[in-house]
Structure 1
Amino acid sequence: MPPVERIPQRTELLSGSQRGNQVILSWPAPRRNAGEGSVQSIRRVDVYRVAEKSNAPLAMTEEEFGARATLVGSVSYDEIKKATNTLTYTDTLELAGEPARLRYAIRYVNSAGQRAAFSNFFLMEPAARVAAPPVITGHEYSESAITFTWEAPKTNIDGSTPVNLLGYNVYRVAASQPQVAENPLNQTPLTATRYEDRSFKFGEKYTYVVRAVSLGPLAKPVESLNSNSVELSQDDTYPPSTPTLLPPGIAAGRIALFWTANPEPDLAGYLIYRSIDPNLPKDWTILTPSLLTRTTFTDENVEPGKTYYYYIRAVDTAGNKSQPSEVVSETVP
């Protein structure tokens, strides 16, 4: 007989954090769920909340919580099915009146409407004086960075001033990623209203948001809601630097060329050009039908008594070509 499918009846890993006027709860998604027709199938997750005074006793029984709690929302069956590792629920607060401690718990509900036991309690004292979101205002591109700027918030989310502001966190999501990364790009909160993203890739589309960071209860940082988002991308239109062609070497029936390696990480190779007339336009004969990846080249197709002129160009992976190097020449004895 196949093993009996056992579905988790509760979680003990409910956690959360404040962002602006929201409390974002999270817990591990059930690793297995019974079939849609099974009575054991988890059909939704109910979210409960109790608001209590900040100095109220920390201990509370499940019975006391059940008698006082308000059902604030649910996670639907569709959301449960789509979840991979984590389920979340966002509780939007008014943040008015006296400071309070909030106590949350969740319950799984099966297809018969039966409720499991409450999860562990998650307690927090939300901060009312959290900075409003910043506003991204501009951007610019360079070969080494995508740079954008923003305006600082003028008030806290409750309308009060001065702004409770420690700094800013910058988040990025690439088009190839499912969601915004959990950790910001910056290691510590930024004090400037400008960020240079130097870890971007050419051709990749990125969406950026900025969050203000405020000082919350117990001296813990609290982030604002997201700023407006901006989608930025830039193609590689920047050519490599001009390579330096060294004096050539001469041997019987051949001319050897040498040059210093280009520093660009996206360098694809080099093209070698030759002419017997230095006054011709720079569309000389290309001696390398494919890109040369080393920094030496030997021209064996030469004739005694003739002078040959050479220059090289560096090419990157996007096909951008550098300016021609200085021309060098050598006469075959």
Structure 2
Amino acid sequence: MTRLWPALLAVLALGACGKKAAPVNPALRVPVPVTDLRGEVHDGAVELAWTNPTRRADNTRLRDIVAARVYRTEDEGVGDPRPALLVRGRIAGYTELLTLTAMPGPPGAVTKPLLTGALVQVTDRQGLIEGRRYTYVVIVEDGEGRVSPPSSRVSVTFGAAPDAPQGLTAAPGPRQVRLTWQPPARGGPDVLYEVLRAPAPGAPPQVITPSPIAATEFVDGGVENGRTYYYTVRAVRRAAGTIARGGVTPVVAASPVDRTPPAPPRDLVASTAGSSVQLRWSGPTDAEVAGYVVYRAAAGREFERVGSTTAPTTSFVDRDVPPGTYRYAVTTQDATARAIESARSGDVTVTVP
């Protein structure tokens, strides 16, 4: 029996051995590269923007980014830009322009990493020379020191941005605002324009022109009557595939209004009952109606307002009318803030006994 123990122990030992998981290829744990790096010239600088990645190469979630590095190279703009090759955690042949690092929290708190999926915007003003082509690349690093492959390259040919346009004016109309301006003092024949609009003072303005325009006027038809909008215009220049955006005009405000009066009521009829006059009519169907105003004129006198109704009521009783002959007419009042009134309807004549 004692001879069986070594063999039995060997069998148990073999049965207890489990399979080890296959090691993960370190290359699959690196963050995926930034895919949307973009840049443009704006007011004497190059503005870059991108979105931090949210996944790793093995498609698992990327939870921490501790650094994002921006690299730059420059040339005369002939041929293709220099390739972006990652060598020992750096982009070969490029100069490291800046590094964004994790933001430290309060004393004793854990350092806060750069947000994955967050939009990042940086500005380059370092030694830019007009006419030179600058090519940028971004890499990101996770908390384990793993570095992503290089982002897509973006090349920007630096040029002087045009001055701001001059003399911006805004003329409101019904559901529209017409904007006009003068070209910048220094701009040149190739200057285009972008119109920006904000819904409130101090709110970030948004570009509302689908693409830069050559005209020095623009009609904004995407507005509502009775609201105030805030406009500014900037000049842009497109050269060598790069857009250079200049400064903006001072802000002007405009409130669209509809000054077109509504149609008057129609089919006005009147009847009497003792000292009361009963009026009925039909309202217009092509306007937003708030109500109606009733007018009365004694023989040889001008019309005077004697009452009103709110929509959709299209009848009115004028009570305690002194004996005599009278003319009646009705107007429509629209639902705008100005409560614009129509012309009077055709009048009707009644005699109160």
TM-score by length of 2: 0.65
Change (3 A) 1:331 1:221: farther
Structure 2 unaligned blocks of 5 or more:
1-28, 56-62, 104-111
Work out which of the two has the higher radius of gyration on C-alpha atoms and give 1 or 2: 2
Alpha-carbon RMSD across the aligned residues, in angstroms, is 4.3
Change (3 A) 1:226 1:203: farther
Q: Distance in 1 between matches of 2:131 and 2:317?
A: 88
Q: What is the aligned counterpart of 1:232 among 250, 253, 257?
A: 253
Question: In the alignment, what sits opposite 1:28?
Answer: 51
Show CA shifts across 1:20-79 (max 9, x none). 4433322224559xxxxxxx6434433222224534664342118534333323446579
Show CA shifts across 1:175-216 (max 9, x none). 3997443xx433454333233323233454544333334342
SS of residue matched to 1:244: coil
Alpha-carbon contact 1:247-1:257 (below 8 Å) kept? yes
Question: What does 1:80-99 align with in structure 2 at a 5 Å threshold?
Answer: 86-92=119-125, 94-96=127-129, 99=132
Q: What is the aligned counterpart of 1:143 among 164, 173, 187?
A: 173
Moved more, 275-284 or 302-311: 302-311
Of Structure 1 and Structure 2, the greater strand share is in 2
Is 1:257 aligned with 2:278? Answer: no
SS of residue matched to 2:246: coil
Alpha-carbon contact 1:15-1:26 (below 8 Å) kept? yes
Q: Distance in 2 between matches of 1:25 and 1:59?
A: 19
Q: CA deviation at 1:117?
A: 2.7
Change (3 A) 1:313 1:255: closer
Equivalent position amino acid for 1:140 in 2: A
Is 1:310 aligned with 2:333? Answer: no
Q: CA deviation at 1:227?
A: 1.6
Question: In the alignment, what sits opposite 2:154?
Answer: 123
Alpha-carbon contact 1:49-1:104 (below 8 Å) kept? yes
Change (3 A) 1:166 1:135: closer
SS of residue matched to 1:170: strand
Show CA shifts across 1:280-319 (max 9, x none). 6633122x1xx2147xx24467899975613223132325
TM-score by length of 1: 0.69
Is 1:272 aligned with 2:293? Answer: yes
Alpha-carbon contact 2:193-2:236 (below 8 Å) kept? yes
Change (3 A) 1:331 1:155: closer
Q: Distance in 1 between matches of 2:170 and 2:330?
A: 34
Change (3 A) 1:143 1:75: farther
Alpha-carbon contact 1:15-1:122 (below 8 Å) kept? yes
SS of residue matched to 2:87: helix
Is 1:66 aligned with 2:85? Answer: no
Q: What is the aligned counterpart of 1:201 among 190, 204, 224?
A: 224
Question: In the alignment, what sits opposite 2:20?
Answer: none
SS of residue matched to 1:68: coil
Q: CA deviation at 1:16?
A: 0.8
Change (3 A) 1:134 1:211: same
Question: In the alignment, what sits opposite 1:246?
Answer: 266
Question: What does 1:34-49 align with in structure 2 at a 5 Å threshold?
Answer: 41-49=64-72
Alpha-carbon contact 2:134-2:157 (below 8 Å) kept? yes
Alpha-carbon contact 2:268-2:281 (below 8 Å) kept? yes
Is 1:17 aligned with 2:39? Answer: yes
Change (3 A) 1:60 1:48: closer
SS of residue matched to 2:281: strand
Alpha-carbon contact 2:70-2:136 (below 8 Å) kept? no
Structure 1 unaligned blocks of 5 or more:
1-6, 33-39, 157-162
Q: Distance in 2 between matches of 1:242 and 1:282?
A: 20
Alpha-carbon contact 2:68-2:138 (below 8 Å) kept? no
SS of residue matched to 2:208: coil
Is 1:331 aligned with 2:353? Answer: no
Q: What is the aligned counterpart of 2:184 among 153, 173, 184?
A: 153
Q: CA deviation at 1:90?
A: 2.5
Equivalent position amino acid for 1:224 in 2: R
Equivalent position amino acid for 1:63 in 2: V
Size of the aligned set, in residue pairs, is: 300
Equivalent position amino acid for 1:133 in 2: D
Alpha-carbon contact 1:239-1:315 (below 8 Å) kept? no
Alpha-carbon contact 1:312-1:325 (below 8 Å) kept? yes
Equivalent position amino acid for 1:99 in 2: R
Question: In the alignment, what sits opposite 2:138?
Answer: 105
Q: Distance in 1 between matches of 2:233 and 2:33?
A: 32
